[in-house]
Structure 1
């Protein structure tokens, strides 16, 4: 019984995400939503079709990435993820590749689809070794095949199911294989470090939570003691993309991210769509794809007839995605007839005594982002820029010479109601406690407001300021808007939520959405996989960035860049950073038909548009080489400016 071929090759998720080349958003479905889509697809398709397509997609990607003649070791777990690995092993064996399989389950405990895949692999002559239950780390090396240097490991252990002792939401498993699963994960990581083995994870790196990006943990341990998840070089996400691959520790564990919709979920830009109603190729022979090039589907027949044309799609009633992946924004050149006054005023309020560098970094970033005129207002603890009889005085000089393009004056002058109302305000960069006395006026009168760092800490500690923050949203009626953007890091978000950093990091998407609702503002939660959330529950995750951005002042640069971009664009033009969603019944990014509810697209909300665009650019600038070294905040704004001016061509799926 030949396996039905998949119709398109796996897609590299970020292949087209380059500055100046907009790309539709990728929907991110959590575990529950993915299970719902999967069950609907299984009910509407021939038996084993999804697993056949998944395994072939894995095999094609593995062969295209590996060097010719490379050895493959498939580690198959106790569920359908293991079945996908067995199908992949069958194809690799048929294509003449050296392949070994280690099966971590009792044969009688395999689910139906995985048992079918095991029978197919044995019929094809794939070498399969059944691992004993409860193998310890000391015995696992002897039970697994000896791999040559540079071999490829296909991790098909767990996928969406974390297993007993490996996570907080265990799936039904054979309890006897838990120790073996744990030992295998450690052995995979050892081989990756010592034998230069490459790891391709099937759907998810084993042990990684699909919803939050948290690794699993050994039962009875704390997260700090024993993180237990595979670190892969490549991950092929099947059917849907999951939010845990894009935030938290997910990007570190996933490596290069790939996706295949298995003929059920189309690509968000509707290209390279699988057609599940198309007649499959006939014949029972298979053709080996050329290594190191885009794979082509081997000719093969179908196990059973494809579904009838016009049948209901599993995506017709698909659940809402939990979040969306931020694509590359588009940056438009300045128009020749405009002048500096056309790009608005940016007021950077912060830089208290001993922290002047934070305000300077933010103000310089605002200038480079396109703000017309940028002012720095610095509160001082010993007088806040005023004499005892309330006459304004010049604040103390900054610790380094002020760039000639920037202007500095007293907080008393900048915080007048009239000036705040016509400006974009970035408040809190190095403000210290001295900023507190000015925050009430800022919250009452600022037109567009970015709250960062010490301004957020002040709001968290003062209930009256919290009420003023809510009042801004209540005044946004009709054409008059009082948009607010909060840019906390996890500790600042924890203070605003009245919790701790570990709780925020345990589910970054949920925390950002909760904070956006509680503060009635758009929230940009910084960190690995920055989350941008709106009060209505829409969440966007930024996939770009690296540890190079973990430097002092990086957040100040982001806040200032947001202020400059917002000022230059204004509310009307900010949405032009994004391609508008289609004016049809398809209201949600990535949807494939009429859907209940409506999630906000960046093209519909200027605050969301600016936050998502600047988060993407900030992260992308942090990916510049050398990746092993930190990126100084003073160089970050220049890197962002250089990127925003690039117009790079789009890339193909395997580029």
Structure 2
């Protein structure tokens, strides 16, 4: 994405439309003039990504996104490219009608899309069908065109947003364009960074169309992208007591790996001390394989309470289970009212016995857990991830991380950040346990819940991308531990390779 001053700012569709209206007034130009700027930015993107392309096919819808496409056709033709223009409708509306007239005035022809129509060979396809204007499933004729575009082996440039992707939520109610590159206009749309967007947007670029800063200043972003950060250097006189004591609680029979991953990630993220409260059968293995973890047998509340007294932060839920043992530990831990990260079965128990939190708390649900906490379906959560995470934060009075592609972080006041990193290799067991330990370690080192969640999510996702340099498939949660340590200390993958 472009390094524009506002490139971390994300907006709703309604906000972007308001910004567009303000931009026309501030620039004293017409909608047609702004459309021409969009077309020029699109041509620049096309030529930058496919410099050898000589033939371009542009698919235009009836609205302003189609108007961008018509004017792109005009500019591409003037630049010497061979342009084929395919339309969904015999008519266009508003400024798009003026753009279509400009195309036809230069001798341009249009081909009305029908499944049986014959199209010429082309080097690049351009999606100018609906952009941000479509918030429903495409009708059958449009769906058939989208399928035609997707099954071809010709690269796709999407204008503003891949048609069929909801630019507000990242949800796809039906067919959607799979773009290789998307150039989005004026400002970042929040739906291009979460949910299904990762499969559809491709390389994302922001073209602000020279909209003045005053337009951005007049609209508060709905969300922001996380920035890459590391932890500050430690004081030279630091000791382990300065960096907090994390207590990981969980590990029902057969789930020792969950507490080990959470505990080890807490160590790698810098916690001074990490204890593990777990079943007796796991203690010997934990001590043998990771002696830095202080593993304790806990058979009920009485043996847990002394550990709670010594801990500064709790990581509750990895491998906890929902049977009597896990439930008793869950109740006892919550009653301690200490800073807390709640995940996995800790969240499933919360869905059964709702409470709000007064101590600093971070909840880290995946969409299924979020659905149980809200009393809705997973599809409901994925339909609007932004609304879901904000409602969770408000309802439970905690900072909430809604995990998944484009993880979201929200606080009870509605503040929201979006994670731009991560990869599908991280869709494997144990990744959530790592995040729990990382966030707990950051809380233990003095971060606020908001800071711990944002920094923790960023480090976790970036470590996943670092580890995936050797391939996404087969990526293990434990593969992230060494990159986590490096990134937490501000060491990049480039530095590691050079030093090695």
| TM-score in terms of structure 2 length | 0.90
Equivalent position of 2:433 in the other structure:
556
Equivalent position of 1:424 in the other structure:
313
* Residues in 2 aligned to 1:556 and 1:36: alpha-carbon distance in whole angstroms: 42
Equivalent position of 2:461 in the other structure:
619
* Residues in 1 aligned to 2:6 and 2:433: alpha-carbon distance in whole angstroms: 29
- The 8 Å contact of residues 181 and 204 in structure 2, kept in 1 or not, is answered as yes
Q: How does 1:360-509 map onto structure 2 within 5 Å?
A: 360-378=260-278, 380=279, 397-398=284-285, 401-411=288-298, 415-416=304-305, 419-420=308-309, 422-433=311-322, 434-463=325-354, 466=355, 470=356, 472-473=357-358, 482-509=359-386
**Cα displacement string for residues 506-529 of structure 1 (whole angstroms, at most 9, x for unaligned residues):** 111100111111111110111111
Equivalent position of 1:526 in the other structure:
403
Question: Which of 185, 201, 206 lines up with 1:238 in the alignment?
Answer: 185
* Residues in 2 aligned to 1:164 and 1:395: alpha-carbon distance in whole angstroms: 51
Give the secondary structure class of the aligned counterpart of 1:429.
coil
Q: How far has the Cα of 1:492 moved from its partner?
A: 1.1
Give the secondary structure class of the aligned counterpart of 2:414.
coil
* Residues in 2 aligned to 1:565 and 1:647: alpha-carbon distance in whole angstroms: 18
Q: How far has the Cα of 1:645 moved from its partner?
A: 3.3
Equivalent position of 2:498 in the other structure:
none
* Residues in 2 aligned to 1:419 and 1:531: alpha-carbon distance in whole angstroms: 30
**Cα displacement string for residues 118-164 of structure 1 (whole angstroms, at most 9, x for unaligned residues):** 23233445x432305xx3x3x14x2x3223xxx21111111011177
Equivalent position of 1:157 in the other structure:
129
- The 8 Å contact of residues 424 and 446 in structure 1, kept in 2 or not, is answered as no
Question: Which of 102, 106, 111 lines up with 1:120 in the alignment?
Answer: 102
* Unaligned 5+ runs, structure 1: 1-11, 17-22, 167-177, 218-227, 267-312, 386-393, 474-481, 575-605, 651-655
**Cα displacement string for residues 193-247 of structure 1 (whole angstroms, at most 9, x for unaligned residues):** xx3x211110000111111111232xxxxxxxxxx00011111111121111111
**Cα displacement string for residues 26-61 of structure 1 (whole angstroms, at most 9, x for unaligned residues):** 221112222222233334532222111111111111
* Residues in 1 aligned to 2:136 and 2:303: alpha-carbon distance in whole angstroms: 59
* Residues in 2 aligned to 1:24 and 1:157: alpha-carbon distance in whole angstroms: 27
Which has the larger displacement, 321-330 or 205-214?
Answer: 321-330
Larger RCO, structures 1/2 (Cα 8 Å, 6+ apart): 1
* Residues in 2 aligned to 1:184 and 1:527: alpha-carbon distance in whole angstroms: 29
Q: How does 1:184-195 map onto structure 2 within 5 Å?
A: 184-191=145-152, 195=153
Question: Which of 120, 124, 128 lines up with 1:145 in the alignment?
Answer: 120
Equivalent position of 1:203 in the other structure:
160
Question: Which of 240, 254, 260 lines up with 2:207 in the alignment?
Answer: 260
Equivalent position of 2:392 in the other structure:
515
Q: How far has the Cα of 1:89 moved from its partner?
A: 2.0
**Cα displacement string for residues 346-403 of structure 1 (whole angstroms, at most 9, x for unaligned residues):** 111111111111000100100011010111101x4xxxx7xxxxxxxx9753478331
* Residues in 1 aligned to 2:169 and 2:229: alpha-carbon distance in whole angstroms: 25
Equivalent position of 2:196 in the other structure:
249
Equivalent position of 1:333 in the other structure:
233
* Residues in 1 aligned to 2:428 and 2:136: alpha-carbon distance in whole angstroms: 38
Do structure 1's residue 55 and structure 2's residue 39 form an aligned pair?
yes
Identify, as 1 or 2, the structure richer in helix: 2
* Residues in 2 aligned to 1:69 and 1:441: alpha-carbon distance in whole angstroms: 65
Question: Which of 13, 21, 41 lines up with 1:31 in the alignment?
Answer: 13
Do structure 1's residue 65 and structure 2's residue 23 form an aligned pair?
no
* Residues in 2 aligned to 1:556 and 1:415: alpha-carbon distance in whole angstroms: 20
Q: How far has the Cα of 1:432 moved from its partner?
A: 0.9
Give the secondary structure class of the aligned counterpart of 2:284.
coil
Give the secondary structure class of the aligned counterpart of 1:540.
strand
RMSD: 2.5
* Residues in 1 aligned to 2:147 and 2:178: alpha-carbon distance in whole angstroms: 10
Question: Which of 142, 147, 156 lines up with 1:181 in the alignment?
Answer: 142
- Pick the structure with greater CA Rg: 1
Give the secondary structure class of the aligned counterpart of 1:257.
strand
The structure-2 alpha-carbon separation of the partners of 1:315 and 1:24, relative to structure 1 and needing over 3 Å to count, comes to closer
Q: How many residues align?
A: 486
* Residues in 1 aligned to 2:403 and 2:461: alpha-carbon distance in whole angstroms: 10
* Unaligned 5+ runs, structure 2: 495-500
Equivalent position of 2:255 in the other structure:
355
* Residues in 2 aligned to 1:486 and 1:265: alpha-carbon distance in whole angstroms: 39
The structure-2 alpha-carbon separation of the partners of 1:648 and 1:371, relative to structure 1 and needing over 3 Å to count, comes to closer
* Residues in 2 aligned to 1:405 and 1:501: alpha-carbon distance in whole angstroms: 38
| TM-score in terms of structure 1 length | 0.70
Give the secondary structure class of the aligned counterpart of 2:158.
strand
Q: How far has the Cα of 1:445 moved from its partner?
A: 2.3
Give the secondary structure class of the aligned counterpart of 1:154.
strand
Question: Which of 436, 442, 449 lines up with 1:607 in the alignment?
Answer: 449
